[in-house]
């Protein structure tokens, strides 16, 4: 994998990934997400891919999945994340709690590459709730 990051102006940058996708970043958070916000988004995105995939394989009728990610940063420079909490809100029809619990656990302990990389220096916690679809 690879990516190229190009300075645009001020603290605005554009990253182009090896697959040709682009992501904008802004150190001032006025025109785009900051790089640290994207770290949280990457953790939530990676884990969400796992959770949805596992639930689909378990034949759960999931209609939506949202991951609410909260991060706490150190007070000193560098202001690294010290804690990250991922809360999954799974919506579907008759989704079994045991399947969601297993999917979240498997993502956290085995599959999510971003979480596994971060857990070396960050306390990662997870929770979930289930909402019934209309």
Q: List Cα–Cα distances, 68 to 11, 40, 48, 73, in angstroms.
A: 27, 10, 10, 17
CA dist 56 and 112 (Å) reads: 17
pLDDT of residue 2: 97
CA dist 24 and 41 (Å) reads: 13
Tens-of-pLDDT digits for all 134 residues of the chain? 999 999 999 999 999 999 999 999 999 999 999 999 999 999 999 999 999 999 999 999 999 999 999 999 999 999 999 999 999 999 999 999 999 999 999 999 999 999 999 999 999 999 999 999 98
């Amino acid at each position: 994998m690879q990516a190229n990051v190009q300075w645009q102006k001020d603290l605005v940058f554009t990253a182009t990934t090896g697959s040709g996708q682009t992501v904008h970043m802004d150190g001032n958070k006025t025109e785009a997400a900051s790089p640290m916000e994207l770290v949280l988004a990457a953790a939530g995105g990676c884990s969400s891919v796992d959770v949805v995939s596992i639930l689909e394989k378990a034949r759960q009728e999931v209609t939506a999945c949202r991951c609410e990610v909260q991060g706490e940063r150190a007070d000193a420079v560098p202001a690294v994340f010290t804690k990250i909490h991922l809360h999954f809100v799974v919506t579907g029809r008759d989704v079994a709690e045991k399947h969601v619990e297993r999917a979240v656990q498997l993502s956290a302990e085995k599959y999510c590459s971003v979480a596994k990389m971060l857990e070396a220096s960050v306390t990662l916690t997870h929770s979930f709730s289930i909402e019934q679809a209309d």
